[in-house]
Amino acid sequence: MATRPPVTILSAPNRLRPSVCGYGRNAQRRWQSTSESTPSSSSSSSSRPSYSRANLASLASEGDLLTGGIAKPKLKRSSQTHHAGQAASGSARPLAFPPPKLKSNPYAPSYSVSEEELDEPLELATAAAGLSETLRHRAHETSSSRQLQTSQQHESTAYIQPIHANPVIRVDKRSDRQEDGTVIELSPYENVKLYDGYIVCKTFSTENAVITWGRLRDSCTCKICRDSSTSQRTFTTGQAMAEAYSRAGPQIEGSDFISGNKGLKITWRNHEGEKPHVTFISKAKLRRMCKTTSSEEDHYPPQIFTRKLWDSTTIKANQSSRISYESLAIRYQRANPLVMLKLLEQLQTYGLVVIEGVPTSPTDDDNCFLRKVISSIGEIRNTFYGETWDVKSMPQSKNVAYTNLDLGLHMDLLYFSSPPRIQALHCLRNRVHGGSSYFVDSFKVASDLPHDLYATLKQTSIPYIYDNDNHFLRYNHKVITDDKEQLISSPHAAINWSPPFRDGRVPDTKTTANTRISSNTSTSNVDNPGGANASQAVDTEVDAAIRAKKELEGYLAISEFEKRLSDPKYKLEFLMKEGDLVIFDNRRILHARKSFHDKTPQEIKKEGIVVVPGEPTRWLKGCYLDGEVVWDKLAVLKKKADHDKASAQRWKDKLTMRRQVDYGEDVLGRISNKLLDA
């Protein structure tokens, strides 16, 4: 068999290599056909058509790759053929492939955007529109002429990087300050007055709101001041203050926005030689900055924190307080989003929800269904009890919850400085007499208190302690932390009540300055003939009487609050069944358990109960969640549900309109047919 002669592999000329620059197959074929019609040369690069940046720039302009209403000038394209002798010329080569034609988005008119999303500076769009002309001009320039033009730029003009577009905006340097009282009209009802060091804003909701230059600079959210990937600040408040109050003050003027509104354009004039920074503030952002106080609802959608306070009658009438486990359809720690949203809204609104039919086996901490359900909401909070823990009767217990005794109304872990917001209890076994659970909405009880009693409890702090099982924790909490109005709206409003873990120290009831008399008060001997010692003795007795009165007021308020909490009209009581999982707000809902005892052997046999030796007859498994975990999940699900609802409504409106059009055409057609038949 003859051997095959060796084949020498030579480098293929550039004109025959596959295209790797992304022009597409049609462009590649045209490139090759043009090159193959050219006589061969010693240099393969001499027969290769050139594609300069100017060609690509003109292609971008012709192909409608620039958005925002940019003019698209049509450029003449030469029809001459590429020859080897012409490849070395410095002029731009004609396009070797047709420009792409982009179709407009037919669904763009149906998008719903907010005023803030439309509030882009108009001058940036105008500068972007001029980019097409710049590209056309550069398409016919050589590299040398471009360098010459760059070197001849005026030194008196400073260039800044715009916020929302790549084109450069020119801002003339000015050293003069604006006069105090200069008014910038933003709308017939909104304006801004300029002063040295601050501005005064008038909006629909505020009158004479003051914003300093420092806050204006500190609130800049441009791409220079905010990282585009993380949306986090790239500068500090100290840096903002140094720039805001530099040698030359800022230039503040009105600016038109694409939405048709006006806003503020602030040019921060820095030191000589530095590029000025520009901040754009829309009217929507200006209104938010004019708020005198930052409410808690600014961090989350306000509608998710509207609570409904309940008593025994209203909570029993609530049909959403119980949800089946099957409806959650939990798979891989993810639940049905609509059912989960319903669950979390119930939890936030009423502070309590019951999931029925949760499997009770397995019972270990790692694989239990409590962990599966709660992990579908978010991360479980870990404490010295562990991520999950068991509540069952045991001898020599270190906690009153681990007994069969009556456990009154309380909240968990108040000896922590930040007790967990949410608690979950899953009933694994309940084969005893008694042991029913009951819950009370402490916010409802507090809202029904007289004003003076409420005020006293708001000033009274109770110390809590846990000193057991090699742990020592202690903290003081006010009985009520917020005003009555905030019990409904504030996410962090809380009531602290846990008698089993009260410290032995005296509750502290704050006194006002005008009612407290210091024991160090001294009086002159002329005014008090009895002398200084007698005066101090009198003052000490008066001060002791005031302190005794305040302490008595605190104890009476605590006693009255306890009495009202025990009123049956506020109590929701039921016996937890095996498989019930109760989730409740630990800073709002008080929970308790009545005493219980095991059933007799005769009762167990009669009822057909299976008792596993060594297993507790009443067994709950629990865990905690932080409030931010629940609020985060609730806000995300709420936002997605609202978006899906709006999208569904838009499609419904489109279908309705299409049906109306089709129906109209059908009616006209039938009328025309009848007329033709007649």
Torsion sign, CA atoms 127, 128, 132, 137: positive
For residue 363, is it within any domain?
yes
Q: What is the pLDDT of residue 123?
A: 63
For residue 202, is it within any domain?
yes
Q: Rounded CA gap, 144 and 124, in Å?
A: 29
pLDDT digit string, tens, across residues 518-554 = 334 443 343 444 555 666 666 677 788 888 888 899 8
For residue 123, is it within any domain?
no
CA-based nearest residue to 120, from 161, 170, 165: 165
Are residue 165 and residue 89 in the same domain, yes or no?
A: no
Q: Rounded CA gap, 251 and 151, in Å?
A: 28
- pTM assigned to the model: 0.63
Q: Cβ contacts of residue 304 below 8 Å, gap of 6+?
A: 345, 348, 631, 634, 635, 638
pLDDT digit string, tens, across residues 480-521 = 999 999 999 888 999 999 998 998 777 877 754 444 433 344
Are residue 539 and residue 576 in the same domain, yes or no?
A: yes
For residue 150, is it within any domain?
no
Amino acid at 156: S
**Which residue did the predictor score with more confidence, 131 or 436?**
436
Are residue 201 and residue 243 in the same domain, yes or no?
A: yes
Q: What is the pLDDT of residue 517?
A: 36
Q: Rounded CA gap, 263 and 124, in Å?
A: 14
Q: Rounded CA gap, 417 and 398, in Å?
A: 21
Q: What is the pLDDT of residue 473?
A: 94
pLDDT digit string, tens, across residues 580-623 = 999 999 999 999 999 998 888 888 888 888 888 888 889 999 99
For residue 242, is it within any domain?
yes
Are residue 394 and residue 528 in the same domain, yes or no?
A: yes
Q: What is the pLDDT of residue 55?
A: 56
The band of 160, judged by pLDDT with boundaries at 50, 70 and 90, is very low
Last residue of a domain, one of 267, 292, 317: 292
CA-based nearest residue to 281, from 129, 158, 163, 194: 163
Are residue 536 and residue 414 in the same domain, yes or no?
A: yes
Last residue of a domain, one of 228, 262, 292: 292
**Which residue did the predictor score with more confidence, 609 or 386?**
386
Q: What is the pLDDT of residue 383?
A: 96
Per the structure, the count of domains in the chain is 3
Q: Rounded CA gap, 381 and 413, in Å?
A: 12
For residue 176, is it within any domain?
yes
Are residue 62 and residue 197 in the same domain, yes or no?
A: no
pLDDT digit string, tens, across residues 96-155 = 666 666 555 555 444 444 444 455 676 665 655 554 455 455 445 544 444 444 444 433
Are residue 504 and residue 612 in the same domain, yes or no?
A: yes
Rounded to the nearest integer, the mean pLDDT of the chain is 75
Are residue 482 and residue 533 in the same domain, yes or no?
A: yes
For residue 485, is it within any domain?
yes
Are residue 540 and residue 463 in the same domain, yes or no?
A: yes
Are residue 260 and residue 327 in the same domain, yes or no?
A: no
Q: Rounded CA gap, 627 and 650, in Å?
A: 34
Are residue 287 and residue 238 in the same domain, yes or no?
A: yes
For residue 252, is it within any domain?
yes
Are residue 331 and residue 409 in the same domain, yes or no?
A: yes
Instruction: With H, G, I as helix, E, B as strand and everything else as coil, classify residue 633.
Output: helix
Domain coverage including residue 43: 26-102
Last residue of a domain, one of 102, 118, 135: 102
